[in-house]
Amino acid sequence: MKFTELLAGAWARNDSLLCVGLDPDPAKFPAHLKGDIFRFCAEIADATADLACAFKPQIAYFAARRAEDQLEALIAHIHARHPGVPVILDAKRGDIGSTAEQYAIEAFERYRADAVTVNPYLGRDSIEPWLAYPDKGVILLCRTSNPGGSDIQFLKVGSGGTAVYELIAEKVAKEWNPDNKYAGQLGLVVGATFPAELARVRAIVGDLPLLVPGIGAQGGDIEATVRAGKTAAGAGLMMSSSRAILYAGRDENFAAAARKVALETRAAINRYRPKNINSPADSFG
Amino acid sequence: MKFTELLAGAWARNDSLLCVGLDPDPAKFPAHLKGDIFRFCAEIADATADLACAFKPQIAYFAARRAEDQLEALIAHIHARHPGVPVILDAKRGDIGSTAEQYAIEAFERYRADAVTVNPYLGRDSIEPWLAYPDKGVILLCRTSNPGGSDIQFLKVGSGGTAVYELIAEKVAKEWNPDNKYAGQLGLVVGATFPAELARVRAIVGDLPLLVPGIGAQGGDIEATVRAGKTAAGAGLMMSSSRAILYAGRDENFAAAARKVALETRAAINRYRPKNINSPADSFG
């Protein structure tokens, strides 16, 4: 199954565009977990799996603590318990071909991620080793949510006034995807901080899935993001929230507190898109 | 000690601009090593440490094989046995501030690298967490050696015809380094495949160290690279070679074969720069 088919299944089944970001910081864990990264993330995943269209573990939080084994175990746990919810490894790798092959082994064979985030600065041939895995997703950085994102991404290229991030969107939609060869494999990262630019990317890339970090619990941002980024069918987005969900509670009820925020965030997103008629929750609820 | 002071010490002591890249592929190891990544890399390092200005382990080769512990052990081994030779962790990380902090912990605290390669696509605030370690080097991708490197890096920005890679060089030399605040911490990656562009970067950045991947054993490329990239003092470069050295021999003499190629490569580089009057080898040899 292609990555975007897996994703579309989760969009429909869970009536959700919410991606739960797993950025585990043991200093913020409830005391009773004694810093157990796997247990913290697994309990969050179990409490939110029916509300999410994807999980997005951020590898840096694991690597900083020598917790690669816990990341492997977490992804295996999600695949075993929640097989319909894709796992996006947020790694933002980017390297030349022979090295990109090694990184693809890391992400797809070792960690068994369904998709990975990749940095496009090294160009087309640095992306191709990732695309050699036909069932896996490759989500390329386009317009990031941080202030410095403008430094390079917002530069105007050539005489037409096209920004670098728009050119990345064009390349990913067309030149790097000849004859739609990689249909179902490609996506883009576009921050929620810039709704006008999100709308611009959506106009360029058609129905390509967009991973949108930067939403909080604030309805305003969510409204602008959904309106700017959704497809005609009211989907197309993985709207990622991490800290607001992970650290909603600081005691033994942290997973229930996370579930409550995930429910609220899903509802806040769904307020601004068409009701999902394919959702089992709608059919039977 | 600043990273560039450590590097300058190795340039002088070993009369060398050669950086030995450690990209361990167990399929290419001599049979008697039975795939032992640590032992292979440590023997290469021990055989070439007096000929190199730096070692550059590529983390993807370790991560693809669950060999993070061997990478830790390798860097500890180099620090213990060859303390004057800096270790550059080739990781090409790039992420927003809070995540970049985690990656900096990974590279500088966990692995104890002296410097790291970083992708600048996310802009200035994604670089600053790395620069918060005053003794460590941050080597930003500028112009990479692969064919696709042109896709983004060679785009012309604005009306002046400046390419993206030139703008990165300008930003790193000036705007991202106000009042030379990060003196001794910054460097750039510029591939050996484009000598004219290497010369252009050198003209922009003064004496900033440049990490130059892409040299082989071919004298022609080396000549063009040294002439285009060296500083007035005849240094300023870390010219990286990996496979040509690592896999020079395929049997029990692999380390001696690697040493032979490293000696030849150092000599080929030194042919095109002023004799290093600070070198102990010159003073006593």
Q: Output the pLDDT for position A276.
A: 55
Residue numbers of the domain that contains B181: 3-284
Q: Output the pLDDT for position B193.
A: 82
Chain B: residue nearest A148 by CA? B123
Q: Output the pLDDT for position A193.
A: 82
Which residues in A lie closer than 8 A to residue B121 (C-beta atoms)?
94, 119-121, 141, 144, 152-153
Distance between CA atoms of residues A243 and B186, nearest Å: 32
Does A260 lie at the interface with B, CB-CB under 8 angstroms? no
The H-or-E segment that residue A263 falls in is helix A254-270
pTM of the predicted model as reported, rounded to 2 decimal places: 0.95
Q: Output the pLDDT for position A192.
A: 87
- The token pair at B7 is 């590097």
- Please give the radius of gyration of chain B, using alpha carbons only, rounded to the nearest integer: 18
The pLDDT-based confidence of B64 (bands split at 50, 70, 90) is very high
User: From the candidates B28, B34, B56, B92, which is the catalytic residue?
Assistant: B92
Task: Identify residue B234 by its one-letter amino acid code.
Answer: G
With respect to residue A284, please indicate whether it lies within any of the assigned structural domains.
Answer: no
- The CA-to-CA distance between both ends of chain A, in Å, stands at 28
Nearest CB to A125: which of B109, B147, B158?
Answer: B147
Q: Indicate whether A277 pLDDT > 70.
A: no
Distance between CA atoms of residues B30 and B21, nearest Å: 18
With respect to residue A88, please indicate whether it lies within any of the assigned structural domains.
Answer: yes
Average pLDDT, stretch A116-129?
A: 97
With respect to residue A83, please indicate whether it lies within any of the assigned structural domains.
Answer: yes
CATH number at residue B132: 3.20.20.70
Q: How far does the CA of residue B30 sit from the closest CA of chain A (Å)?
A: 20
With respect to residue A54, please indicate whether it lies within any of the assigned structural domains.
Answer: yes
Length of chain B in terms of residues written: 285
Q: Indicate whether A213 pLDDT > 80.
A: yes
- The token pair at B192 is 């050996």
Q: Output the pLDDT for position A282.
A: 37
Average pLDDT, stretch B60-84?
A: 98
With respect to residue A285, please indicate whether it lies within any of the assigned structural domains.
Answer: no
Task: Please give the distance of CA B35 from its chain centroid, rounded to a whole number.
Answer: 25
Which residues in B lie closer than 8 A to residue A61 (C-beta atoms)?
99, 102
* pLDDT tens-digit map of B7-18: 999 999 999 999
Q: Output the pLDDT for position A284.
A: 32
Distance between CA atoms of residues A68 and A62, nearest Å: 6
Residue A173 and residue A209 in contact, taking contact as beta carbons nearer than 8 Å: no
Q: Are A92 and B94 inside 8 Å of each other by CB?
A: yes
Q: How far does the CA of residue A278 sit from the closest CA of chain B (Å)?
A: 36
Q: Are A120 and B121 inside 8 Å of each other by CB?
A: yes
The top-scoring range by mean pLDDT among A149-163, A214-228, B68-82 is B68-82
DSSP letter for each residue of B123-192: -HHHHHHHHTSTTSEEEEEEE-SSTTHHHHHT-EETTTTEEHHHHHHHIIIIITSGGGTTTTTEEEEE-T
ipTM: 0.95
Does A231 lie at the interface with B, CB-CB under 8 angstroms? no
Which residues in B lie closer than 8 A to residue A64 (C-beta atoms)?
102-103, 105-106, 109-110
Torsion of CA A66, A72, A77, A79, to 10 degrees: 150
Length of chain A in terms of residues written: 285
With respect to residue A162, please indicate whether it lies within any of the assigned structural domains.
Answer: yes
Residue A188 and residue A206 in contact, taking contact as beta carbons nearer than 8 Å: no
* pLDDT tens-digit map of A4-22: 999 999 999 999 999 999 9
Mean of per-residue pLDDT scores for chain A: 93
Cα angle A203, A207, A210; round to 5: 85
Q: Indicate whether A280 pLDDT > 90.
A: no
The pLDDT-based confidence of B281 (bands split at 50, 70, 90) is very low
* pLDDT tens-digit map of B135-188: 999 999 999 988 899 999 999 997 778 999 999 999 999 999 999 999 999 999
Q: Output the pLDDT for position A2.
A: 97
Q: Are A68 and B66 inside 8 Å of each other by CB?
A: yes
Q: Output the pLDDT for position B280.
A: 43
DSSP letter for each residue of A155-209: -EETTTTEEHHHHHHHIIIIITSGGGTTTTTEEEEE-TT-HHHHHHHHHHHTT--
- CB < 8 Å from A in window 129-168 of B: 141, 144-153, 155-159, 164, 167-168
Average pLDDT, stretch B224-233?
A: 96
Which residues in B lie closer than 8 A to residue A106 (C-beta atoms)?
60, 63-64
Chain B: residue nearest A155 by CA? B157
Residue B128 and residue B97 in contact, taking contact as beta carbons nearer than 8 Å: yes
Q: How far does the CA of residue B242 sit from the closest CA of chain A (Å)?
A: 12
The pLDDT-based confidence of A36 (bands split at 50, 70, 90) is very high
Report helix, strand or coil for A88. Answer: strand
Chain A: residue nearest B168 by CA? A152
Distance between CA atoms of residues A20 and B273, nearest Å: 55
Q: Which of A44, A123, A120, A49 is nearest to A84 (CA)?
A: A49
Residue B276 and residue B18 in contact, taking contact as beta carbons nearer than 8 Å: no
- Count of domains in chain A? 1
Mean of per-residue pLDDT scores for chain B: 93
User: From the candidates A2, A92, A171, A260, which is the catalytic residue?
Assistant: A92
* pLDDT tens-digit map of B100-114: 999 999 999 999 999
- CB < 8 Å from A in window 77-136 of B: 92-100, 102-103, 105-106, 109-110, 119-127
Average pLDDT, stretch A102-128?
A: 98
| Residue A2: active-site member | no
DSSP for residue B120: G
Does B174 lie at the interface with A, CB-CB under 8 angstroms? no
Residue A229 and residue A202 in contact, taking contact as beta carbons nearer than 8 Å: yes
- The token pair at B204 is 């922009």
Q: Are A92 and B119 inside 8 Å of each other by CB?
A: yes
Q: Are B157 and A155 inside 8 Å of each other by CB?
A: yes
With respect to residue A283, please indicate whether it lies within any of the assigned structural domains.
Answer: no
Judged by average pLDDT, the poorest of A244-253, B225-234, B268-277 is B268-277
* pLDDT tens-digit map of B256-280: 999 999 999 999 999 999 875 454 4
Q: How far does the CA of residue A265 sit from the closest CA of chain B (Å)?
A: 22
